[in-house]
Every structure is written in C-alpha cells, then in structure tokens.
Amino acid sequence: MDYRKEEILEQLDRIISDKAFSRSKVNVRLLRFLVESTLADKDVKEVTIGTELFSTKYDPVKWDNKVRVYVYHLRKKLDEYYQSANSNEIVFQIAKGQYKVQFESYRATQTHDAEKNISLAKWIYGAIAMVVLAIAIFFVTKPSIDDFWKGLMNNGMSTTVVFGDYFTIEGPTLTSTKGIIRDYEINSADELEDYLLHNPELKDKLYPSQHHYFNWAAPYCSKEIAQFWAKYDYPFDIVQISEWSVSQLDNQNLVYFGQSKTMGVLQNILKEKFPQYNYRSQVLERTDPVTKKKVTYRDIITQDNKNTDYTIVAKISTPTGNEMRFFLSDQDCGAISALDYFTQKDSLAAFYQRHELEADDDFIALFKVTGWLRKSYDMEFVLLDRE
C-alpha cells in the first residue's frame, strides 16, 4: 500500500513522541534518518549511518558493529511501540540486514504474521529431524576451542571461576545500633583494621561482617560461562574471592569476574604482569610504557542511570603452566558485555585477527561499555597491550 510523504512524516512524529523513543536521542535520530533516506530513495550503508549519528568520530573499523547494534535495538523499540498501536497507523518495518524502511498498513502486517505462523508450523515439523541430527553430531564431535580459551582448557589442570564479593562491616546504622555497612573504600579486614588505627574512637563499634554479597554480574556471568563450557563438556568450580586462597594457583586455572577493588591478592598478580595499569574505585589509570604519559579513565553514572564503564579483559599464562583470565568491571554492564564478546566465535576470531594475536599470546585489553540500569548494550574497543 502506497502512502503520501506527508502521512509517513506524520506517523514518524507520532512514533518519536512516544515514551518508548523520547528517552533515546539516538533512536530518534536514527529512525528519522532512515525514514527520510528511504523517502529520498537513497542507498544507505553502515558508514553513512555511522557518520550521520556520530559525525567525524565514527570509525567503521574501531567501532565494529556499532551501527548494527543500534539498528537492532531500533527494531525492538518499533516492535514495542506497535504492540499498543492504533490499527489505523502506518507500520514502519526494517528488515534484517537492510536499512530501508518499509511502510505497510497495520492489517497487512497482521496478515503477514498469520501467514508466517502457518509457514513456521510446517517448517517446525521438517526441522525436528534436523535438530535430532544436530544433537547427535554435537555429542559425536565437540566444537573447536577458540584461541582465547584454548590454553586454559587444554592444559590438563582444573579451573575455578572466582567472583569478587563485597566486604561488609557490622556496626551502627542510621536506623539501628547494629546492621550491615558497605563502604566502597574498605574492601577487606586488613583495610578495616587500618581504618580503625586512624579512627580509634570507632574501634569497639565496627567489625568485619560474615555477610558478603555480589552484584548483578555474578549470577549472569555464572550462567553464561556455564552454558559456554557445557558445549565442550568442560568441568569447573565456582568460589567467591573471600573464600579463595592464592595457594590454589599452584595447580589450577582461574577465571575472575568482578571489580578491581574486590580482587585482593589477584590485583598484585595482574599488576606484576601489566604494571602500566593502576586500579582505583571506578577509575583506571594507564601509563604508556614508552612515552610515560598517564591517561585516566573514569566510570560515569548519570542521574537517569546510564553507565559508562571502562572494562578490562586480560589473558595471562603463568610460569607454572596454569592460565588466568580476568574480566574486571566496576559496573555490571562491563563484565556482562565482555563475557558475551569473548564467548562468541565470530567476535573472538575478528578480535584475534585484527590485533594479530596468537593462541599463546598474553594481553590486556581495555573496552568502553555503556548501558542503562546496569545492563549492557554497547562495547567499544579502546586499546590493547601485549606482555
């Protein structure tokens, strides 16, 4: 069905005024650009969109699939909008792999959906046999191991996943004479003892608590790493940093998820390998090994709960033969996004090829991750250091 340009632009204004779009300036700009480009019959490509949205800052190599991610989320927002749309409205659709907008009537899209459901039912019956065959093949031949995980999974040592839990203090609170206190600057019993030495009047009021806790990244990452290793039938243990001992490194591999301030002795190990980095609460400092120039990367949390998190991913091989992996994130979105990236074959292959890495190379990589309400949605590569 054909629509006049004026009708389409009226529908565009109606959509971007809706609460599902009004909070995101990027979604508004992206949808307007795609609609206007379609009306002008322009051949839109990723570079064109990236330049339009991000001006001269856009780098198609450095920013990887940034445009595709934004278009993906735009499709989801459009689906969300049309769930409660008026039946007289014009439906904007963006097919996967394309950037031109299709304009259809609400009824036409409902008819298409019904036809798709019938076709899908027929397809499902035919696909069952393929699924059974795929399962059989899976159990006969396991998938190949990516370079990032190869040394860890093939060295014959057991692996422990360590989650950084938060140290808490027992003491008087605003509403009670005794409760649980979390102080971002006190992350161990030793740090509490040092604090009390400088504040002796609190010595009989503050004590280490046995009640530690985790952030959202811990359950999410434990699920993701379990699903990832299940494909290889690879066993592993899980422990919190407060119950882990450095003596376990003698004959075990380690994968750490958490904040830099909850690492304990692991921070010393990481700094020994890559001394150019310094870790503070929600702050990373890197000193260039050659120029000695220092750059500071600070996490940002806005009033509307948008987070910017500078995330570290590190791969380390030790002289004793065991392997270590680090996913450092002071905000949940960093660890979640980084783990997703480093468990996907396509993204891992592209990462190793782009930086000319070999399977046995140790490195530390810095990413900028942004997300709403501590959920990840965008990860940008910043830099990489080899050992």
What domains sit in the chain, N to C, each tagged with a CATH number?
5-110 (1.10.10), 147-165+213-386 (no CATH), 169-208 (no CATH)
pLDDT recorded at residue 260: 84
170: nearest Cα among 182, 159, 162: 182
Q: In this structure, what DSSP letter does residue 210 have?
A: S
Q: What is the dihedral of CA 339, 387, 150, 264, to 10 degrees?
A: -50
> Are 5 and 37 contacting, i.e. CB atoms less than 8 angstroms apart?
no
Distances (CA, A) of 148 to 181, 314, 323, 327, 344: 39, 10, 11, 13, 11
* Token representation of residue 329: 């994130």
Dig out the tokens for 321 from the structure.
């033969």
Per-residue pLDDT of the chain (387 residues; tens, 9 = 90+): 578 899 889 999 988 888 777 777 888 889 999 999 999 888 888 778 888 777 656 666 555 567 877 888 888 888 888 887 777 789 999 888 788 999 888 665 554 554 445 455 555 555 665 655 555 554 455 678 899 999 999 988 999 999 988 788 888 888 888 888 888 778 777 888 888 989 989 888 888 887 777 777 888 899 999 999 999 999 999 988 888 888 878 789 999 999 888 888 899 999 999 999 999 888 999 999 999 999 999 998 887 778 899 999 999 998 888 999 999 998 888 888 999 999 998 889 999 999 999 999 999 999 999 877 655 568 899 999 998
- What DSSP assignment string belongs to 165-180? PBP-EEE--SS-SSEE
Question: How many CB atoms within 10 Å of residue 370?
Answer: 18
Task: Provide the pLDDT for residue 18.
Answer: 86
